[in-house]
Structure 1
Amino acid sequence: WFGTTAFAIRVYPFLAGAAFFLLSLRLAREMFGERVALWTALLLAVPPVYITIATSVIPPDNYLATVALGSLALLITHRIVHAPAAPGRPSRRHLLLGIVCGLGFWVHILFIDFLVVAVGFAWLKDKLLPVRQGGWAPAGGFALGGLPLIAYNILHAFDTFIVARTVPAAVALEKGWMAVREIFPVLVGGVVPLYGDNPNLVHFSDPVWWSMAAFYVGLAAWIAWRFRIEWGRLARVSTAGTSGVSILVVLVLVSFVVFARSDRANSWAFRYLLPVMSALPILAALGLAKMAERSRRPVLAVGLAIVAIQAWGHGVVWAAWGDAETRARLDLPDDRPLVRYLDENGIRRAYGHFWISYRLTYETGERIICAQPYDERFGGRYRPKYTDRVDRATPAAFITLPGLGLEPDLIEHDLKLIGGRYRRVQVPPYTLFVDFKPPDEGVPLDPAGWGVRASHNGESARNAIDGDIFSRWGTGTAQRPGQWFEVDLGTRVPVTRVGMALGQFGSDLPRGIAVLGSLDGTIWTELARAERHLGGLVWGEFHPVFDVPGRFELALPDRPVRFLRLVQTGTADPFDWSISELFVYGRRPAAPGWPGWPSWDDSQRELGRRLFRDALEALEEGKEDAALVSLDRAVRADPGHASAWQRLANVAGRRGIADAGALRLELARVNRERGLVSEADALPASRGKKAGPARP
């Protein structure tokens, strides 16, 4: 139903839009009468552009369905608060309200604004509702309507609510003003977004915009004064003598507060204020209807002017989308040539920015799986869906689009640094990288017998070659050009690659580096240089892969050296430069019995396990903050199992130090699902012992 079908793309948004329109009319009629309903119909007949774009034209993300269900919840709430009902016990309306709220919250967490208003006014109407006979009805209805959401979160440590982080009050005040200044004009049609939530906006001329602003400021002032008695009654925690205006105004205020407190809100996150559209057209219609009672023709002209402005906004979008160059700038290019190229070359797996990856996967019905190469939106906290599939696939492609995520020149820069071969292909406006051939990497060299020294903290330099991912060498001061780390390989060896693992200290990645080689430790030759480097682009089994935090590789020319010197060329405040383990690859055959240096994956997985054990120990000692820090580091250390570590972290944060056993139960479930951690790792029995890859 919700794949690439006509129902999902056309019918479902149309039904949601029709429901929102009809429910808005019904709500206006029941609250204020026929005249206000007619004005509401006029204002919504040609709605503000953002409602059309973000809720109907774009494949559904359930925003319009959420607002429609919210309008239904407001309608039921109004009937509960203001319609006559038998006193003393909850009615069927309470049960229905609970079901609608549960369903709306399942459809999208954005429904929280409506939920607060519905629960708040139902309680104001009857403060003894929870203890009355049948008082279970609203909560029972909510559980029934939201059953899929509740079941999912019980099984996944309430993952849905990870996004519900808040900001301090001072930041919230700034975001609240930003919402009034930058978000509100988009919602009322005074600013035209050319595509969903993005900064490509068209502004009206100042006279038009200031006229609209004056109307809405005047509307707010009139409502505040005309219904001032209602605000006093609400302040006394009562709904007696109030009207539907109270419900609508409180919804607007709640929406602005929720937006301001959210750490995800920004200057073009318009969708987070979308719930106000269940109230704003009706409040505007109420103001116009009251004004028309005194002067009909001028007010009709004002209403028609608002509709004309909104219609003009639709024309602007239509013209923009009809221009190929503008579509490309809006990240909406025609991707049929891209799909045709991938099909003709047998490429069924690819990496792309999340705007590209979701669209391509959706439009091809998952015939082509396109995934984010790493977690672009949340800084590596989650493992993107399908990325593992692309990591293991061949052939695969990197797809880039100017202005979206990684620039093609930057990817090509890093591809050259890690070696191997590839082709750069133009499928305008896309740039693709395909036909990957890995370099001849050589074998990992045994560090036994190496000598090391460094420009800073030379006494800890051997930590970089001790086989322990949890120890490190670091400069102990901010990164500055000229800092160096030197290795004496003991004999001349043709070297092909050098790599560094940062372990727990991914932020200490060198911001620029030069690799020098020497036969005698006196005369040096530059072998490789990276003045800028993304970090984390390394060769996988078949092609380069991203999302390996704290990992850095450089290909070297196949030439013999005895000494290698890594020289810092970048600057980073306040981060120092550190190396947990240094890896050197060369042509020398591995020594008899030498199993090779620990793989990157083994090292990172071991780091995740070690950090998790540290977290359990901290929990048992009552150090909850330290436990959560360790769990967060475990997520970053082992991104392949990030969701599992995050579930564990959620349990810790939710249940606190009093129930460390809950962590073990969650761990056991993870272990059964994925074989991620041994049962022994679940117990902090290794207290005081040093864990890490053993020396061969």
Structure 2
Amino acid sequence: MAASSFRHHIPLAVLLGAAVRAPFWAEALRTPVDGDTAIIGLMARHLGRGTTMWGQPYGSPLEAWLAAPLLAAMGARPEALRLCYFLLGLVLIPVAYLLARRLDPRAALPAAVLMACPPPYFLLLSALPPPMYPSVLALCGLLMVLALRIADHIESGRAVSGELVLAGTLAGLAAWTHLMSLSIVAAGAAYLFRAARGRRVALLYALVPFLLASAPWWTRALVDRQAVRVVSVSERQEGFTSHVLDVLPRLPRPLGGVLGTRTPWIADDADHVVQAPPGVATLIVLLYGAALVLAVRASRARPAARLLLAAVALVVIVFPFPLRSGPDSMRFLTPLYLPLAALVAWGGLALGKPRRAWILVLALACLHLGMASRLLAAWRGADRAAAPFLLPDLAPVRRFLEERAIRRAYASYGPAYRLTFETGERVVVSQPWNERFLHYPLPYLDEVRFAKNAAWVLTPRIPTDLPAPAAFEAALGAAGGRWRRTAAGEAAVFHDFGPPFGPMVEPLATAGAAGDASLTTVLRPSPTAPSTWTLPAPRPLDAITLVAGLDGPRLLRSMDVEVSADGLAFETVSRRRRRDERTDLRWVGGQPQYVIDHDVIAVPLAGRAVAAIRVTPVASGDEWALGEILIHPAEDPARRAPWDEWLDPSLTWAERRRALLSSPRPERADWYSRLLLAMRHH
């Protein structure tokens, strides 16, 4: 094909793709960013922080790297993030062109037109995508283009070391970003291995860069099973065989979704779907099926087509095995469409004349656009605050928090990241625990824990592990103290907290290493037997606080805390049980928290006389350590010191650590809890 045709065809196809996508982009621009997309925007502001998508054990920061220049130029605005995904959606058009061009130059433009007018699911992915998938699709397509090019160069005896290095790097980056790309990587590797007879040592030029580029994933996978959870084939809740037997009979459902017979309103939603009329769905399947049959027959004379056929087949074959696959998990099948589009355009040439290939492609394009119009109509009539979007307007919450000078808050997954992104991190909001990957670190949780004036933002319409407002208020009532509740749009905001005890404490001098006002020395009580500490003299206490040490084991996950007024008869004043941490609301640092890290446990006593304290392990043999036992002497509530801020809130973690160590405040309970947090961040 002439170079001039190449220069004109791709811009024309991209312009067509932009025109087709423009109405969807307009709808995306009036849709608030969701939690996942907000994470990408926040990561783009903190390049180099983390090697996975924040809050989960896999995924790469690739899309944050791509979005960073746009956010730098346009500001931290939703429009900048949307533009990043709009452009990624358009990238697939020239990739389809290049793929088909490797098969036959006459198939290039039809393939690009088909990708410009794709099944509606790909229009969804260009406007409101789940992160990682748009970039992985582009990487997989480029990888196949490179594999075909390298094989041709090997056959002609040309040097391919540079291209192999590039291919290995792209393959590693794709694997790091999402493991669903491994099907395409494997197909490309097998194709090159077969093509490189007599020169297979040269493939090391690709293997080494692949291992290096994917190292952030596989080095983590060696020590953390969660890094491969996205492709896990069995778990405690579901076995491999039962899962495969459940998915296989329903495989046509997600396959049809990728081809355009059904499209969810948002990625992989099962309840809100645009369904093609039976006649349209049948025609779509027949046209794709016929084109694929033609491509299979023609592949006998064109080995390059075998790579694309293998890629399509491998994506489908592997799909049923991961537990995250299901009848509505269309996203995991999306890597098959780029090679399929190239094969359809190329297979159409087998009908004898290029015009017939165009008829096939344009027929499919028209069917796709007809279904796309249905999806667009559904979007235009949808309330973004209702299901399946569940993206209520958070402007009332933002205004309330900023008017009250509240700079830290807790909320569920989506609202937390949305509020943080939409305020440009003027307000930092975190989940109180990781709702998707329990115990996996969260980027902002310690920042909120460290704060002195934190709020809780609860949005009852959005499904979450967090308690409903009424349940949270009941938990606050059980914990004692005071608070205020304010409605802000659809959210209930809890704020102005005050514990039922003050911050002033005394280390229990009779507790030895757990009473020396230092968290560097610890006691290691019996893992199974009760441990008792006696006060020098009985005295009324407002509370006791148990604090873990800086290093070593944490506090017990399952225990009873008991007190005695005479050292003989003990009464249980606190119970903690393994796996119940998310229902155990405690006062820490003057704010209500669910203590999931077993670092600080405060027990209100309401002025009760205490002569001895006992901790009893319950159904536990875990090693544990105690850094400090702090007692809160009973005080007149009117004379209690406030839980106020005594550090500059703008300090970095390193500056906080230095300030806490250089100016210790062992008389304050929050000095100990803050020191534990600060020492984690070094």
Counterpart CA distance in 2 for 1:270 and 1:470 is 53
**What are the Cα deviations for residues 178-236 of structure 1, in whole angstroms up to 9, with x where unaligned?**
38366434433334333345555325278369637854895698479747x86xxxxxx
- Equivalent in the alignment of 1:334: 393
2:527 aligned with 1:472? yes
**What are the Cα deviations for residues 263-314 of structure 1, in whole angstroms up to 9, with x where unaligned?**
6656665544432232233445566776898999899766633431233123
Matched residue SS, 2:139 = helix
Q: Is the 8 A contact 2:394 2:489 kept in 1?
A: no
**What are the Cα deviations for residues 82-128 of structure 1, in whole angstroms up to 9, with x where unaligned?**
57842375366445534544565566665444332322211110133
2:415 aligned with 1:356? yes
Matched residue SS, 2:448 = helix
Residue type at the aligned position of 2:335 = P
Shift of the 292–435 alpha-carbon distance from structure 1 to 2, 3 Å rule, reads farther
Q: Is the 8 A contact 2:456 2:493 kept in 1?
A: yes
Residue type at the aligned position of 2:97 = L
What is the CA-CA distance between 1:443 and the residue it aligns to? 5.0
- Equivalent in the alignment of 2:240: 171
Counterpart CA distance in 2 for 1:125 and 1:332 is 50
**What are the Cα deviations for residues 380-408 of structure 1, in whole angstroms up to 9, with x where unaligned?**
032x1122222222322222222233133
Q: Is the 8 A contact 1:422 1:434 kept in 2?
A: yes
Shift of the 126–263 alpha-carbon distance from structure 1 to 2, 3 Å rule, reads same
- Equivalent in the alignment of 1:617: none
Q: Is the 8 A contact 1:81 1:122 kept in 2?
A: yes
**What are the Cα deviations for residues 57-94 of structure 1, in whole angstroms up to 9, with x where unaligned?**
35x83432331232122122223335784237536644
**Structure with bigger RCO (C-alpha 8 Å, 6+ apart):** 2
Counterpart CA distance in 2 for 1:224 and 1:100 is 27
Give the counterpart of 2:376 among 314, 320, 323: 314
Residue type at the aligned position of 2:437 = F
2:460 aligned with 1:398? no
Unpaired segments ≥5 residues, structure 1:
231-240, 450-466, 476-484, 590-594, 606-637, 645-673, 675-696
Residue type at the aligned position of 2:337 = M
Q: Is the 8 A contact 1:26 1:37 kept in 2?
A: no
CA RMSD of aligned residues (A): 5.4
Q: Is the 8 A contact 2:96 2:108 kept in 1?
A: no
Matched residue SS, 2:381 = helix
Matched residue SS, 1:275 = helix
- Equivalent in the alignment of 2:589: 541
- Equivalent in the alignment of 1:387: 445
Counterpart CA distance in 2 for 1:176 and 1:318 is 38
Percent identity between matched residues is: 22
Give the counterpart of 2:310 among 243, 250, 255: 250
- Aligned length, in residue pairs: 552
Unpaired segments ≥5 residues, structure 2:
1-68, 512-521, 636-664
Counterpart CA distance in 2 for 1:136 and 1:529 is 58
The worse-fitting range, judged by mean Cα deviation, of 524-533 and 101-110 is 524-533
Q: Is the 8 A contact 1:537 1:546 kept in 2?
A: yes
Counterpart CA distance in 2 for 1:297 and 1:486 is 85
Q: Is the 8 A contact 2:95 2:138 kept in 1?
A: yes
- Equivalent in the alignment of 1:662: none
2:437 aligned with 1:378? yes
Counterpart CA distance in 1 for 2:679 and 2:323 is 25
Counterpart CA distance in 2 for 1:159 and 1:505 is 21
Counterpart CA distance in 2 for 1:470 and 1:563 is 16
- Equivalent in the alignment of 2:63: none
Counterpart CA distance in 2 for 1:190 and 1:161 is 36
Give the counterpart of 2:491 among 430, 445, 460: 430
Shift of the 123–161 alpha-carbon distance from structure 1 to 2, 3 Å rule, reads farther
What is the CA-CA distance between 1:341 and the residue it aligns to? 1.9
- Equivalent in the alignment of 1:30: 102
**What are the Cα deviations for residues 546-591 of structure 1, in whole angstroms up to 9, with x where unaligned?**
45334765534434477999999xxx9xx779996897956479xx
Q: Is the 8 A contact 1:189 1:313 kept in 2?
A: no
- Equivalent in the alignment of 2:426: 367
Q: Is the 8 A contact 1:101 1:115 kept in 2?
A: yes
Counterpart CA distance in 2 for 1:164 and 1:217 is 33
Counterpart CA distance in 2 for 1:43 and 1:292 is 19
Shift of the 291–345 alpha-carbon distance from structure 1 to 2, 3 Å rule, reads farther
Matched residue SS, 1:549 = coil
Counterpart CA distance in 2 for 1:31 and 1:176 is 37
Matched residue SS, 2:386 = helix
Q: Is the 8 A contact 1:374 1:547 kept in 2?
A: no
Counterpart CA distance in 2 for 1:640 and 1:262 is 39
What is the CA-CA distance between 1:425 and the residue it aligns to? 1.9
- Equivalent in the alignment of 1:18: 90
What is the CA-CA distance between 1:542 and the residue it aligns to? 4.2
- Equivalent in the alignment of 1:460: none
Q: Is the 8 A contact 2:280 2:367 kept in 1?
A: no
Q: Is the 8 A contact 1:487 1:563 kept in 2?
A: yes
Counterpart CA distance in 2 for 1:261 and 1:9 is 33
Matched residue SS, 1:127 = coil
Alignment map for 1:79-94 (pairs within 5 Å) = 79-81=149-151, 85-87=155-157, 90=160, 93-94=163-164
What is the CA-CA distance between 1:24 and the residue it aligns to? 0.9
Shift of the 296–549 alpha-carbon distance from structure 1 to 2, 3 Å rule, reads closer
- Equivalent in the alignment of 1:122: 192
Shift of the 257–429 alpha-carbon distance from structure 1 to 2, 3 Å rule, reads farther
